[in-house]
Every structure is written in structure tokens, then in C-alpha cells.
Amino acid sequence: MEKFAKKIHFLNNISDVISDKELIKEMSENIRRGDAYVLKKVIDTNTINDIIEYLENIGRNSIPNYQKIEYGCSNFHRINKRDERSHVKGCFHQFVFFPWNQDFFDFFELTKTAYKLKNLLSGLPENKFLGKKPEDGCTSRIAFQFYPSSQGGLNKHRDPVDYHQLSVPILIMSKKGKDFHEGGLFIEKASKEKIYLDDITEPGDVIYFNAEVPHGVDIIDPQKIYKWTDFNGRWMLLLAINKLFDNESIADAQELE
């Protein structure tokens, strides 16, 4: 049965949510049906601004590269200009971190509460996949994505729901109306109407929705002139659990356009 977006819920204090088993059960059932939840102010904006500055420096001053997802691989950043090798075509600058590598911000500690809620909503132990070694052919993976104005976007698609996850939480890092003005993250209703999540969220909010609901990123400020190293556009963070490159038991993302 195809999944589509339905109702949006807003909740405060993610720590209280995690301790409420009945609420988590209700959230999981609603997400499976197509509802989405916005957890407010999970990461403070000062920290987000510091992270953006750090990533911009990496993006300007080191060569983009790519690593396949396997145990022990390096953190990396890459530029994806609708790469033909991608299951879902898009245009973005991605910065990837793995739990077996150390980083200045201790990203996996910073986002641990959001990851734990992700696991609980999936019916998993709260610390599943969060160790320094992969489990069951999967690992946690932090992926910051920057969508440049005039080019940045991601085609409509569905991500797999399987034993590893129900939702791929997204941390909002840019403010629509300030950092960018057109386009952005959407989920799609059965009527094909798009719900633009950047219109109803603030930097620091984390969104949980069913990964099988059609979603994508419409082109950011398509009329603007852009230079990659200016970093004008939209930032976000994917709190993913990814299969290792040789794990064939989980399906790939499915592009819908």
C-alpha cells in the first residue's frame, strides 16, 4: 500500500517524548499511516551556526571526494551534480560523518537523543546501530547537505522502510524567508499536493516522517546566480541508518520522477 503525507504534529522537549512509551507507540502508528512529527528546538541555533561555519571552511579548502559505506571508511565531503550513479538525482554538497571516526563536534553525541527517538519509533532498542561498529549490515551515518541557490534540489523519491528504520529524521538548519526564499523540503499528499516543511519549521527542529512517503527538495531560489563557494542556499542534516555497500537485503531508494 502506497504511503502519502497526512497530518503534521508539533511536540516540544524531545527528552520527555523519549520517556513516554504510550506517546511513542502512538507516534509510530501515525507515522506508518503518513503523519509527520516536528520536534521543536532539538539543537540550539548557535551550535548550528558554528557547524555551518566549520563545514563551509571544509568545503572551500579541501578537495571533494567520495567513500563507499564500509566499516572504517573516512569521513568525507562530495559534490553531487545529478550524478548518474545516484539512485536519486539531485544537486547538493554533502558532508558525511561515521561513528567510528572522531570529529570536533562529537556529532553522534550531539544528535544521540534524536537518533534514539528514531530507533524507538522503528520498534528498535534505543541504541541500535549507534555503536562504533556496524550491526546487521548497517551503520548510523550523519549527512549534512547543502543545496545551493539556483541549482540545489533533490528529485521526488521514496526511501526504504525495513528492519533498520521507519523514518529518516531531518534537522532543519536554514530559515526560509531569510537564508532562501523559494523551493525547499516537501512531502507529498495523495492528491499530489506538496507540504513544504521549511514553511512551518525553524532551525534546530527535527522532522520525523515515514521514509516511504514521497518527498524531495524543490530547486532553491531558481532565479538567483550562484557560485558554489559562496554557500548561499539551504542547509539540512540527515540522521540516517544506512546499509553497508555490500548489504543486498535492503532495497535502494526509489526515484519517482
CA separation for the pair 160, 123 (Å, rounded):
16
pLDDT band at 245 (very low <50, low <70, confident <90, very high): very high
Q: Once rounded to an integer, what is the mean pLDDT over residues 91-95?
A: 97
Q: What residues are paired with 195 via a beta bridge?
A: 187
Whether 235 shows a pLDDT value over 80: the answer reads: yes
Q: Once rounded to an integer, what is the mean pLDDT over residues 138-154?
A: 97
Whether 83 shows a pLDDT value over 90: the answer reads: no
CA separation for the pair 98, 141 (Å, rounded):
5
Residue 105: Cβ within 10 Å count? 14
Q: Is residue 196 packed enough to be buried (19+ CB in 10 Å), middle (13-18) or exposed (0-12)?
A: middle
Q: What is the mean pLDDT of the chain?
A: 96
pLDDT band at 2 (very low <50, low <70, confident <90, very high): confident
CA separation for the pair 235, 141 (Å, rounded):
17
With contact defined as beta carbons under 8 Å apart, do 246 and 142 qualify? no
Q: What is the largest CA-CA distance in the chain?
A: 49
Query: What are the residue ranges of helices labelled H in 62-189?
Result: 107-110, 112-121
Handedness of CA 34, 40, 46, 47 (dihedral sign): negative
pLDDT band at 244 (very low <50, low <70, confident <90, very high): very high
* Contact residues for 248 (Cβ-Cβ < 8 A; gap 6+): none
| pLDDT of the residue at 227 | 83
Whether 84 shows a pLDDT value over 90: the answer reads: no
Residue 90: Cβ within 10 Å count? 21
Q: Which of 158, 147, 135 is nearest to 247 (CA)?
A: 135
pLDDT band at 36 (very low <50, low <70, confident <90, very high): very high
With contact defined as beta carbons under 8 Å apart, do 182 and 115 qualify? no
